[in-house]
C-alpha cells in the first residue's frame, strides 16, 4: 500500500483511536480511584489500630501500677505479720521458760554462808586432779580467721563437753538472744543470721564469760551489786539452777575488759570460774565449780595480775592468762597458775598469739578439740594449739 493510501485511511481510524484512548484513561482513573479508596481505608484502619493499641498500653500500665501498689501493700502486711510472729515466738519462748517455773534465784543466806565457809577452808589447797591430763600449751600452731560478725565484743563457741557441731554466738556484752547455727559451714558461709535459730534467755547476760557445757548454758547475770551463775537447759529452754556467786565486792576480772566480772571456763577437769575482788584487786582468783549444783568446790588466789589482761582459760587444771596493751599489739600467755602444783609459773612457756585486728573480747578453750574460739574486734578466729607434757616444758 502506498503512502497516499495511508493518508486516505487516517480520517477513518482517528475516531477509533480516540475512543480507545478515552477508554484507557477511564480505566486508569477507575484503578486510581480504587487505589485511593484502599489507601484511605488502610489509613483509617491504621489509625483505629493505633488508637486501640494506645488504649491497651494505657490499660496495661494502669494494671501494672495497681499490681505494684498491691505488691507493696502485701509486702508491708508480710513485714507486719513477721513482726507479730516474732513477737509471738518471743512470748511463747518466755512462757516455755516459765513452765516449769525457773528455780528461785533468791539464795538462802545461811546456806550461802556455809558454802563460802567450806570453800574458804579449802582455799589455796593443792588440787587433787580428776584426770591424768598433764598437758600444757607449747605454742599456737595455726590461726584461722573465719568471718566478721556482730559487734566488737562477743563470744562464739561449741559445747565444750560434747561432740555437737552446733555453733553458739553471743553478740555483745549485754543481750538476751543467743544465735545457734547447726554447723560451722552455715556460720561461715552466710553473712546474715537467717540460718540460725534464736534462743531467748529469761534474763540478759553481762560480759563475755559464758560457757556451753554438756547441753547447758552457764551464763552470768548481774543483779544489783551481785552476780549470778545461771544454768540454762538448751534442749527444753528452761532455767535448771542458779546461784549467787559467793564473792564480795567483785571487780572486772580483766583489766582490758570492763564488762566481764566472771569468766566461766571448761577444761579436761570440768568447770572453773575466774574472777576478781577488791580484797586483792591486783590479782585474779580461781574457783572450781560443780556443774551439777553450781557449788564452789575450791578457791585459789593466783599470782596472775589483772592489769593488761584481756582473757583467760584453763587447760588441764592450769590457769592461762592472756595479756595485751591498751594500744593492741601481740597478745601473749604470760602467766600460768597450776592448781595441782605440777607446773611452776616460771617454768611455763611464753606463748605468743599471731598479730590480729585488735584485742580479744573472749577466748574459749575446747578440751576435746585442743583449740581456742576467739572473738577479736568482731572477727571470729580459731587458734589451734600445740601441746606438750608439763614435765617437758
The pLDDT, as a whole number, for residue 342 is: 80
Q: The C-alpha cell of 277 is what?
A: 575482788
DSSP codes, 106-168 = PPPHHHHHHHHHHHHHTTTPPP--SS---EEEEEEEEEEEEEE-SSSSEEEE--SSS----EE
Please give the DSSP secondary-structure letter assigned to residue 354.
P
CA 85, 87, 93: angle at the middle one, nearest 5?
100
> Rounded to the nearest 10 degrees, how much is the dihedral formed by the CA atoms of 147, 311, 300, 247?
-90
* pLDDT tens per residue, range 76-109: 888 888 777 767 766 655 554 444 444 444 444 5
- Note the pTM of the prediction, 2 decimals: 0.69
Beta-ladder partners of 296: 289
How far is 34 from 28, CA to CA, in rounded Å?
10
Please give the DSSP secondary-structure letter assigned to residue 195.
T
The pLDDT, as a whole number, for residue 214 is: 94
**What is the CB neighbour count within 10 angstroms for residue 275?**
23
Task: Please say whether the beta carbons of 207 and 197 come within 8 A.
Answer: no
The pLDDT, as a whole number, for residue 115 is: 55
The pLDDT, as a whole number, for residue 309 is: 95
The pLDDT, as a whole number, for residue 392 is: 46
Closest to 302 (Cα-Cα) out of 113, 127, 116, 117: 127
Q: The C-alpha cell of 335 is what?
A: 602467766
How far is 274 from 245, CA to CA, in rounded Å?
11
Average pLDDT, the chain: 85
The pLDDT, as a whole number, for residue 391 is: 63
Q: The C-alpha cell of 159 is what?
A: 559445747
For residue 129, give every residue at least 6 positions away whose Cβ sits within 8 Å of its Cβ, in sequence order, or none.
269, 317, 340
Q: In Å, how far are 45, 46, 64 from 54, measured between CA atoms?
A: 14, 12, 15
How far is 18 from 24, CA to CA, in rounded Å?
10
For residue 171, give every residue at least 6 positions away whose Cβ sits within 8 Å of its Cβ, in sequence order, or none.
149, 150, 151, 154, 177, 179
Task: Please say whether the beta carbons of 309 and 360 come within 8 A.
Answer: no
- Each residue's pLDDT tens digit in the chain (393 positions)? 556 665 666 666 667 777 777 888 888 888 888 888 888 888 888 888 888 888 898 989 989 989 988 888 888 888 888 777 767 766 655 554 444 444 444 444 554 555 555 555 556 566 777 788 888 899 999 999 999 988 999 999 999 997 889 999 999 999 999 999 999 988 988 766 777 899 999 999 999 999 999 999 999 999 988 999 999 999 999 999 999 999 889 999 999 999 999 999 999 999 999 999 999 889 999 999 999 999 999 999 999 999 999 999 999 999 999 998 877 778 999 999 999 888 776 677 789 998 777 789 999 999 999 999 999 989 999 999 999 887 644
* pLDDT tens per residue, range 273-330: 999 999 988 999 999 999 999 999 999 999 999 999 999 999 999 999 999 887 777 8
Percent helix, strand and coil across the chain, each to the nearest 5: 30, 35, 35
* pLDDT tens per residue, range 231-247: 999 999 999 999 999 98
Amino acid at each position: 500500500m502506498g503512502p497516499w493510501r495511508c493518508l486516505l485511511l487516517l480520517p477513518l481510524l482517528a475516531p477509533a483511536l480516540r475512543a480507545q484512548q478515552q477508554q484507557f484513561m477511564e480505566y486508569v482513573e477507575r484503578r486510581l480511584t480504587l487505589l485511593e479508596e484502599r489507601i484511605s481505608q488502610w489509613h483509617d484502619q491504621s489509625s483505629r489500630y493505633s488508637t486501640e493499641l494506645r488504649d491497651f498500653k494505657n490499660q496495661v500500665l494502669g494494671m501494672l501500677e495497681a499490681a505494684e501498689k498491691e505488691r507493696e501493700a502485701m509486702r508491708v502486711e508480710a513485714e507486719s505479720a513477721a513482726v507479730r510472729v516474732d513477737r509471738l515466738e518471743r512470748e511463747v519462748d518466755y512462757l516455755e521458760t516459765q513452765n516449769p517455773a525457773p528455780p528461785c534465784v533468791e539464795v538462802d543466806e545461811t546456806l550461802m554462808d556455809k558454802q563460802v565457809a567450806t570453800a574458804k577452808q579449802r582455799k589455796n589447797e593443792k588440787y587433787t586432779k580428776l584426770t591424768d591430763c598433764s598437758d600444757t600449751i607449747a605454742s599456737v600452731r595455726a590461726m584461722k580467721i573465719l568471718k566478721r560478725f556482730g559487734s566488737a565484743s562477743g563470744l562464739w563457741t561449741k559445747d565444750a563437753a560434747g561432740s555437737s557441731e552446733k555453733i553458739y554466738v553471743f553478740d555483745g556484752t549485754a543481750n538476751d538472744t543467743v544465735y545457734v547455727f547447726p554447723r560451722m559451714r552455715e556460720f561461715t558461709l552466710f553473712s546474715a543470721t537467717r540460718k540460725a535459730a534464736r534462743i531467748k534467755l529469761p534474763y540478759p547476760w553481762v560480759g563475755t564469760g559464758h560457757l556451753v557445757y554438756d547441753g547447758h548454758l552457764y551464763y552470768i547475770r548481774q543483779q544489783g551489786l551481785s552476780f549470778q551463775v545461771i544454768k540454762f537447759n538448751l534442749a527444753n529452754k528452761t532455767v535448771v539452777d542458779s546461784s549467787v556467786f559467793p564473792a564480795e565486792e567483785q571487780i572486772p576480772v580483766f583489766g582490758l575488759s570492763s564488762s566481764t566480772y566472771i569468766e566461766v571456763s571448761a577444761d579436761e577437769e570440768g568447770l572453773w570460774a575466774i574472777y576478781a575482788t577488791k580484797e586483792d584487786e591486783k590479782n585474779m582468783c580461781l574457783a572450781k565449780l560443780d556443774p551439777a549444783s553450781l557449788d564452789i568446790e575450791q578457791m585459789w588466789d593466783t599470782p596472775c595480775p589483772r592489769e593488761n589482761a584481756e582473757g583467760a582459760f584453763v587447760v588441764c587444771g592450769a590457769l592461762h592468762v592472756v595479756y595485751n596493751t591498751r594500744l593492741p599489739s601481740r597478745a601473749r600467755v604470760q602467766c600460768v597458775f597450776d592448781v595441782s602444783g605440777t607446773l611452776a609459773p616460771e617454768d611455763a612457756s611464753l606463748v605468743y598469739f599471731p598479730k590480729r585486728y585488735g584485742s580479744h573480747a573472749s577466748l574459749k578453750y575446747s578440751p576435746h578439740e585442743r583449740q581456742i574460739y576467739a572473738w577479736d574486734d568482731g572477727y571470729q578466729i580459731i587458734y589451734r594449739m600445740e601441746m606438750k607434757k608439763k614435765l617437758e616444758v
